[in-house]
């Protein structure tokens, strides 16, 4: 084979692989939409989104309570995780001695890779028995929020650390040369420059919380109703899918795909907002 | 001075937050490893599960996990390698397409794993007729880890010094030779890191597998059988099997230990990678 034709073949192969991977997202969105379509013959979109009546065997496909469940668990988790995750990022990047900083960063990387089912197991066997003292049975919005917060905190910390590290060293050093304290340097030099990256981290953590399934399902109680207190059980859109996919048929199955479509659209909007904010060509690998 | 007092309060509260988070992490890791590793012996690894997993071991589960992970890597790695090469080497030739593909992949990486499970169930299990099987699970995981593989291929090719590329071009070598004989071998540590990261992700996954590769705990005979992955086994024991939490903890300890080994491998590979320095090859 001549070198020109070998080169051409390589280019074509690379191009084909690139295009195939590029259209996967589109393909997934199309397929999930197609599969959820049949439920609209049965129940209108407005009923799906405004009714809290989820009784698939009786033809009730209202997703509102479950949507509220998803949003409340995720925002609660973010509310708990953001202060912890940000404090950790600030401490590790600005205050900690090098050895502690290196250990802390390693620990966070390890935790970011721990499977959600392991967090769920810990939540179910260790945390729920503690939460029972607040209110039985211990599985609740609050329990799910705590477990989820611990899970998304590493995401938040990793992205904040990246943002802080990308602040030019020269600006930090000129601050030091002026005799500014660490807190002042953090507030006046690092934070203003790192803010877009930190916002990206917060958004991605929220997206991760919304899409999380196993851990939440194991500790949230999974009752379909709009929660009125932190100790109420809740069901999320993702848990709804995992709980009922095993036996769902026809309209019910389509309604579960509709739950998935909702989760996907919400997380995609958040992920895209995060992407446009940072606008970096090279994020963390 | 007022300023320094408020700065000190700030510093203390940051340290407090960091130590609280670290304590929670160590509590969870310790809880899993302590309780789990306590009861593990060789028999647990080489016996099949009995009595819905309450007794016996995890042999068939480990075999199914191995099948699912290796098959998904076999499917995703070649595609990921080619697509990553496209994004790093041909992005000058097709800047607009490369940018679109990159954005699409970044977004794909943010899609929740249960959505991949739905997709895999609808496409691979139903439309393509593979049913709930190891093959369906592997294809689903392959789609899921693809963006990460591509990213790491692109990243490790890009971080090679630009003079590798330029000197090879100056010698009049063809693109195929430059790729095959110079760039890919040089990028090997980075490529392996990506692969190991992909394996870690696949190993940690549960939601995408529950209704693609399924629950069946029997020893799989072929890739068309359903097979229960380790993560699914933990979930099932904890949620659906009364009295299953002891073995759930043991299985979780095995899973966490595997992931820690993967982390060590990545650290070792990173060490190899850091030895080389030079001006990176930007797009």
- Which residues from chain B sit within 8 angstroms of residue A255, using beta carbons? none
CATH of the domain at B199: 1.10.3720.10
Interface check for B200 against chain A (CB to CB < 8 A): the answer is yes
In angstroms, the separation between the Cα of residue B1 and the nearest Cα of chain A is 12
Q: Do A213 and B206 touch (CB under 8 A)?
A: yes
Number of domains in chain A: 2
Residue A54 bridge partners (DSSP): A61
Residues near A284 by Cβ (< 8 Å), separated by ≥ 6? A158, A159, A162
Q: Do A18 and B20 touch (CB under 8 A)?
A: no
CATH of the domain at A95: 1.10.3720.10
Residue A113 lies in a domain: yes
Question: In terms of domains, do A13 and A139 share one?
Answer: no
Query: How far apart, in whole angstroms, are the C-alpha atoms of residue B43 and residue B41?
Result: 5
Query: How far apart, in whole angstroms, are the C-alpha atoms of residue A229 and residue A225?
Result: 11
In angstroms, the separation between the Cα of residue B241 and the nearest Cα of chain A is 13
Q: Do B32 and A211 touch (CB under 8 A)?
A: no
Residue B265 lies in a domain: no
Residues near A158 by Cβ (< 8 Å), separated by ≥ 6? A108, A109, A112, A201, A284
Ranges of H-type helices in A113-222 = 116-122, 128-131, 141-165, 169-177, 182-185, 191-211, 214-219
- Which residues from chain A sit within 8 angstroms of residue B32, using beta carbons? 118, 121-122
Q: Do A7 and B121 touch (CB under 8 A)?
A: no
- pLDDT of B136 strictly over 90: yes
Q: Do B112 and A238 touch (CB under 8 A)?
A: yes
Residue B260 lies in a domain: no
Query: How far apart, in whole angstroms, are the C-alpha atoms of residue B190 and residue A67?
Result: 41
Residue B21 lies in a domain: no
Number of domains in chain B: 1
In angstroms, the separation between the Cα of residue B107 and the nearest Cα of chain A is 7
Interface check for B188 against chain A (CB to CB < 8 A): the answer is no
DSSP B210-234: TTTT-S--SPPSSTTS----HHHHH
Question: In terms of domains, do A107 and A194 share one?
Answer: yes
Query: How far apart, in whole angstroms, are the C-alpha atoms of residue A170 and residue A36?
Result: 54
Residue B212 lies in a domain: yes
**Confidence at residue A277, expressed as pLDDT on a 0 to 100 scale:** 52
Residue B168 lies in a domain: yes
Banded pLDDT at B283 (limits 50, 70, 90) = low
SS3 B161: strand
Banded pLDDT at A278 (limits 50, 70, 90) = very low
By CA distance, what is B204's nearest residue in A? A115
Residue A211 lies in a domain: yes
Its ipTM equals: 0.92
**Confidence at residue B190, expressed as pLDDT on a 0 to 100 scale:** 87
**Confidence at residue B161, expressed as pLDDT on a 0 to 100 scale:** 87
Span A240-275, pLDDT tens digits = 999 999 899 989 999 999 999 999 999 999 998 887
In angstroms, the separation between the Cα of residue A147 and the nearest Cα of chain B is 10
Residue B202 lies in a domain: yes
Residue A30 lies in a domain: yes
Query: How far apart, in whole angstroms, are the C-alpha atoms of residue B204 and residue B264?
Result: 16
In angstroms, the separation between the Cα of residue A46 and the nearest Cα of chain B is 23
SS3 B241: coil
Burial (CB < 10 A; 0-12, 13-18, 19+), residue B49, is buried
- Which residues from chain B sit within 8 angstroms of residue A83, using beta carbons? 17
Span B149-173, pLDDT tens digits = 999 999 999 888 888 888 898 998 9
Interface check for B126 against chain A (CB to CB < 8 A): the answer is no
Q: What are phi and psi of B41, to 5 degrees?
A: -135, 180
Using CB atoms, pick whichever of A124, A186, A263 lies closest to residue B115. A263
Residue B83 lies in a domain: yes
Residue B169 lies in a domain: yes
Mean pLDDT of the A111-133 span: 94
Interface check for B116 against chain A (CB to CB < 8 A): the answer is yes
Q: Do B21 and A153 touch (CB under 8 A)?
A: yes
Q: Which of B120, B281, B279 is nearest to B212 (CA)?
A: B120
Banded pLDDT at A279 (limits 50, 70, 90) = very low
Question: In terms of domains, do A32 and A112 share one?
Answer: no
- Which residues from chain A sit within 8 angstroms of residue B259, using beta carbons? 110, 113-115
**Confidence at residue A3, expressed as pLDDT on a 0 to 100 scale:** 74
Banded pLDDT at B146 (limits 50, 70, 90) = very high
Using CB atoms, pick whichever of A88, A118, A267 lies closest to residue B255. A118
Residues near A5 by Cβ (< 8 Å), separated by ≥ 6? none
Using CB atoms, pick whichever of A20, A87, A110 lies closest to residue B260. A110
Q: Which domain holds residue A206?
A: 45-278
Q: Do B235 and A122 touch (CB under 8 A)?
A: no
**Confidence at residue A118, expressed as pLDDT on a 0 to 100 scale:** 96
Question: In terms of domains, do A101 and A184 share one?
Answer: yes
Question: In terms of domains, do A179 and A83 share one?
Answer: yes
Using CB atoms, pick whichever of B14, B85, B158 lies closest to residue A95. B14
By CA distance, what is A122's nearest residue in B? B28
- pLDDT of A6 strictly over 90: no
Mean pLDDT is lowest, of A176-190, B1-15, B227-241, for B1-15
Both tokens assigned to B156: 């490790």
Question: In terms of domains, do A50 and A174 share one?
Answer: yes
Question: In terms of domains, do A99 and A194 share one?
Answer: yes
Using CB atoms, pick whichever of A83, A91, A268 lies closest to residue B15. A91
Span B55-96, pLDDT tens digits = 889 999 999 999 999 999 999 999 999 999 999 988 888 999
Q: For residues B32 and A121, is the Cβ–Cβ distance under 8 A? A: yes
By CA distance, what is A276's nearest residue in B? B103
Using CB atoms, pick whichever of A28, A119, A210 lies closest to residue B28. A119
**Confidence at residue A266, expressed as pLDDT on a 0 to 100 scale:** 96
- pLDDT of A205 strictly over 90: yes
Mean pLDDT of the A151-180 span: 92
By CA distance, what is B15's nearest residue in A? A91
Query: How far apart, in whole angstroms, are the C-alpha atoms of residue A215 and residue B109?
Result: 20
Count A/B contacts: CB-CB distance under 8 Å.
277
Q: Do A20 and B79 touch (CB under 8 A)?
A: yes
Residue A86 lies in a domain: yes
Question: In terms of domains, do A23 and A63 share one?
Answer: no
Q: Do A88 and B118 touch (CB under 8 A)?
A: no
Q: For residues A206 and B35, is the Cβ–Cβ distance under 8 A? A: no
Q: Do B106 and A275 touch (CB under 8 A)?
A: yes
Question: In terms of domains, do A18 and A157 share one?
Answer: no
Q: Which domain holds residue B140?
A: 63-229
Residue A284 lies in a domain: no
Q: Do A88 and B110 touch (CB under 8 A)?
A: no
Interface check for B76 against chain A (CB to CB < 8 A): the answer is no
Q: Do B152 and A285 touch (CB under 8 A)?
A: yes
């Amino acid at each position: 084979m001549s070198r020109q034709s070998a080169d051409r073949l390589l280019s074509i192969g690379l191009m084909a692989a690139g295009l195939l991977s590029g259209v996967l997202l589109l393909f997934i969105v199309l397929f999930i939409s197609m599969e959820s379509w049949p439920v609209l013959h049965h129940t209108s979109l407005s009923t799906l989104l405004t009714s809290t009546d989820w009784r698939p065997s009786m033809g009730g496909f209202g997703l509102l309570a479950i949507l509220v469940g998803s949003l409340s668990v995720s925002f609660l988790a973010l509310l708990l995780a953001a202060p912890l995750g940000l404090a950790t990022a600030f401490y590790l990047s600005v205050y900690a001695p090098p050895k502690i900083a290196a250990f802390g960063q390693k620990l966070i990387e390890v935790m970011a890779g721990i499977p959600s089912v392991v967090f769920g197991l810990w939540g179910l066997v260790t945390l729920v028995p503690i939460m029972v003292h607040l209110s039985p049975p211990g599985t609740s919005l609050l329990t799910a929020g705590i477990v989820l917060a611990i899970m998304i905190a590493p995401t938040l910390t990793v992205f904040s650390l990246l943002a802080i590290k990308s602040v030019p060293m020269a600006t930090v050093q000129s601050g030091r040369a002026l005799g500014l304290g660490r807190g002042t340097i953090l507030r006046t030099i690092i934070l203003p420059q790192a803010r877009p990256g930190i916002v990206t981290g917060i958004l991605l953590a929220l997206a991760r919380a919304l899409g999380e399934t196993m851990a939440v399902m194991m500790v949230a109680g999974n009752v379909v109703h709009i929660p009125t207190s932190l100790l109420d059980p809740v069901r999320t859109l993702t848990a709804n899918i995992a709980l009922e996919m095993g036996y769902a048929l026809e309209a019910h199955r389509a309604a579960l795909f509709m739950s998935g479509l909702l989760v996907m659209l919400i997380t995609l909007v958040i992920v895209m907002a995060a992407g446009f904010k940072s606008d970096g060509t090279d994020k963390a690998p | 001075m007022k300023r320094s007092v408020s700065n000190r309060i700030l510093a203390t509260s940051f340290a407090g937050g960091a130590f609280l988070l670290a304590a929670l992490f160590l509590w969870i890791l310790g809880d899993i490893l302590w309780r789990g590793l306590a009861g593990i012996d060789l028999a647990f690894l080489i016996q099949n599960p009995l009595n819905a997993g309450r007794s016996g071991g995890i042999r068939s589960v480990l075999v199914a996990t191995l099948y699912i992970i290796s098959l998904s890597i076999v499917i995703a790695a070649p595609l990921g390698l080619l697509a990553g090469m496209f994004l790093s080497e041909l992005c000058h030739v097709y800047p607009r397409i490369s940018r679109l593909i990159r954005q699409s992949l970044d977004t794909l990486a943010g899609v929740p794993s249960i959505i991949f499970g739905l997709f895999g169930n609808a496409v691979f299990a139903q439309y393509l007729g593979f049913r709930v099987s190891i093959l369906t699970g592997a294809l689903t995981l392959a789609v899921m880890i693809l963006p990460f593989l591509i990213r790491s291929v692109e990243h490790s090719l890009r971080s090679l010094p630009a003079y590798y590329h330029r000197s090879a071009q100056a010698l009049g070598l063809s693109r195929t030779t430059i790729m095959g004989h110079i760039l890919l071998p040089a990028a090997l540590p980075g490529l392996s890191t990506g692969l190991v990261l992909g394996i870690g992700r696949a190993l940690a996954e549960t939601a995408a597998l529950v209704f693609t590769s399924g629950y069946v705990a029997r020893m799989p005979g072929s890739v068309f059988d359903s097979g229960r992955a380790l993560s699914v086994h933990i979930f099932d024991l904890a949620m659906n099997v009364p009295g299953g939490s002891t073995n759930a903890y043991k299985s979780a300890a095995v899973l966490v230990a595997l992931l820690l080994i993967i982390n060590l491998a990545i650290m070792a590979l990173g060490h190899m990678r850091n030895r080389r320095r030079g001006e990176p090859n930007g797009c």
